[in-house]
Structure 1
Amino acid sequence: MDETEPPRLGRIIDYLGSTLLRVVAGPAAAGRAVSSVTIYDPSDGVRVEPGGVLLGVGVADPGTVRSLLDELGRCSAAAVLLKEPAPLTDAIRQAADRLEVGVFEVSRAASWDQLVVLLRTVLTPPEPAGHGDEPAEGFGGDLFQLANAIGTLLDAPVTIEDRSARVLAFSSGQEDTDHGRVQTVLGRQVPARYQQLLTERGVFRELYRSTEPVFVPALDEAFKPRIAVAVRAGDEVLGFLWAVVPEPLPESRLRAFADASRIAALHLVRDRVGSPADRRLRAELCARLIGGNGDRAEAARRLGLHGAPVCVLAFEAEPADDEIEHAGTVRRVADSLAVHLAALHRFSAVTTLGDVVYGLLPVPAADSDRAALHVATDFLDRITARAALRAGVGRVAPDATAVIRSRADAEAVLRVLRHNGNGVKAATARSLRAELLTLRLADALDQDDLPGQTAVGRLLDHDARHRTDLTRTLAAYLEQLGDIPKAAAAVHVHPNTFRYRLRRLCEIGELDLTDRDARFEALLELRLHQFRSVDAGS
């Protein structure tokens, strides 16, 4: 179906199915265009657009139904929905056929509120990823078709659920299951009581651990047996397939069910990552958000991130001699990161600015930068790249509109990791506070800001002219807190040689190492020099 066309009545029938409603009178023309949903208000009369659906809340009298049909026929409405048992008479059936208005009977177990949400979700045309406050989840036609295909394969009613036990799609035939499944479909969520039972019985633990289907015996008298399998993208669990079955499946159907989970994984990853056009749009919105350009609140809203704590992850590769090869590495990192983050959170976003790849990751709490670091480290362990990669994790921003500070943190962490050269591949801003403070001082101070030549400055000049390494000796002494044996070992010389060099550097640099202020000044200037040298080299 063209996404610009209005949805058809057949789409509602297929998606909601006989679990929720069934046609009891009038035509059920699958091709009939449906425009809107209206709740009946006796005090306001019938105000329905052509092609609209009227929810007959509180309508239980045949005479009222007959009058409504006349009004709906004049409005060219598509259908009226009535609660079970629908008050039907021969006159109502004849009027529905003559006026071409369908009469649907709604399950007594379904609330009108649930029905309104479901209908409006079905009728809302799909938007590109990032549009709307809450992008509709799980109403892609492909997922429902897949659920029906799996249901046909197993001869069993099937649901496709995410990791939070929310229903993304379901097959037909749910009315023949049990109360728990019906409530699951109606509420688009597995009821809390059944989630607790499944957790206590270790079912979820087994699903996360196993790559094979798991048979779940009846939990109680009202719960029929199930077969379930995790939907995985690599080691990441994206969701689950559940089928109501009377007994364990034979081997051939178990294999088919396992194969179906791999097909479902492709759908879920594709839906999360989106089409190439969707990805470009999200990348542009992400760039606007972290770059502070334009309406950041609107960008956050369209990304689905408004009001949510988020963390910026920044990734960079060691530069390559071949610019084309380096550009290809950056592009592969961005594509891989988009898939990796999408498997973790559907509202994540990725963009590339210059040679740095940025990821926006929604996090559950303000102190979740450690969890974000785990995500970054896990990604670095998984990705195959010719160049070495680093990752910086910024502070958690309380709202997506405040991510600029988190981006600055993540970039600063990359600079520190570049400078340290100690093999650490990823770090959070919180874990590098001292280094980040030094970095900011280096950015704020000019080399010529301090009056007169400093001790470190004199040593640097001497090393440059005479090819000595006295500044390295001084750095080792200060970093080892004056412990001569440890400092000598750090620069691989004998302690006596180290003592001689120490006396020489004190003479040349005019440095008094018994003065604590002189030691502090020298250590600080050495750190500033190291940062400036690395930045100049990169």
Structure 2
Amino acid sequence: MRLRDLLQADQLALKVLTGHDLLDRRVRGVATTDLPDPAMFVKTGELVLTELTWHTGPASSRDFVRSLGDVAALVAGTALKVPPADLIDACAEAGLPLLTLPVDVPFSQVTEHVLRALIVELGTTPPRPAYAARRRLASTLVDGGSLTKLVTAVAGELDVPCWVLSPTGRVIVGSQPLGVAARLRLAHTFLTARFLPGMVTQEDGTVLSVFPVGKGASHRIANWFLAYAGEQVQGENEDLIVELAALVALERSRLEAAQRIERRVLDQLLTLLESGDAALPGVVSRLHTLHVETEHGLVAVALSARLGGDGEVAVPVLDELLRPLAPGIVTATGPAEALALVPLAGNTAEELTNHVLRGARTLEAGLGEGRITLGVSSVTTGPAALSSLIEEARHALTLAALGGERVSVVTGDDVSSHRTLLAAIPGELRRAFRARLLGRLESYDAANQTDLLETLQAYLEESGSWTATAERLHVHVNTLRYRVRRIEELTGRSLNSWDERVDFMLALRMR
């Protein structure tokens, strides 16, 4: 069939915005996508349907149109009501026909019409049997079906279990339960594999395959992926997995489009707080709009994701790290930084910090030379303290960045402890200070198989109590006294001095 045949279908009510002289192009298939870069999911001659949720400005239109290659035409849906002028210009420049679809006509109706026309034209079922499955999958999602229904449908078609997972190993949806060990192994493979699709062999010898959801995210740590039982599928089943990946990416784009509205409200709140003129009613009003409650505890979490050229992953990464324990409202605060307001909702700040840190440790496998640093504020139960809460999270983030670890977290409690001072000291200076105070003890222990360093730490942590330290080390008090004298001889310092004890304690905390 040709494009002009589609325009004659009154029930579709398609209109041409650009490409009036290109309506003799043949349509050889149909695809639905809202990925910013759908290149791997569309094919030559296809009619591409999109709701435009990927659109963020002229550059996004140019990139999207460029990635379509030699498709037959682009059909714009209803997400933005009227296609933006920059998209019309990009299509005209690329020689790509752009059509529009009325609000009351679903994509599934266009898909159905095209597939039926191809069947009539060919006189039989199209050469690729996967078209029927693709049509069913697209109809499931476009007509309001959930991701769960979509994944269950594919699992039924393939006759194997199937899942959608995040890079921390969180199951988004799945056709059956999946154990923690398997989830973490899959996440590690997805993050570290040089090439995808990939495979994971479980302890019982069974094989799971890993398939990327799409090119939409700028880095794997911000993307989702598919997993299914068995080795990589071929033929029409491979087309089914590719189509599922595209539809999952589309659904994620829809979710992110809804989240962008929340981010705009949070951006307004942050601007208000930074202006210094934030009246309490205005703050409360915006928190209410965001459905953020403070009465059960609220914390601010700041994140920096430094990954070379992939600086736009901070928002999706922080959003992922908070889920599912305490999802908050996340927005970007810089090229590679994000901030979230997180209602604790029955959790403690310690539980939240540990949850975020576990997720970040999982992502560490995919960081390469990059880093993730986090700052977590203390807890407030009133909106009046919101400005200082955010400032505390940002200050904690700055301190976390001073460390050398690839993943590091500093909390509000850390900000008020000696650990803050230690973190602010350059690494070389910390190591030099430790070596000067403890170097001879470390060398003596290594050469003589003694435990003077352990004895020193126990003695300081027990506040210089001979009895408590001896019991902790399971030695006689006289043995302890001998060890302390030996420590003083080797270091040239007295443990009777409060200043000397502080120096030793700080040296023991330095690495």
Question: Which category describes the TM-score, using the shorter chain as reference length?
Answer: 0.3 to 0.5
Structure 1 length normalisation: TM-score? 0.37
Structure 2 length normalisation: TM-score? 0.39
Larger radius of gyration, structure 1 or 2? Answer: 1
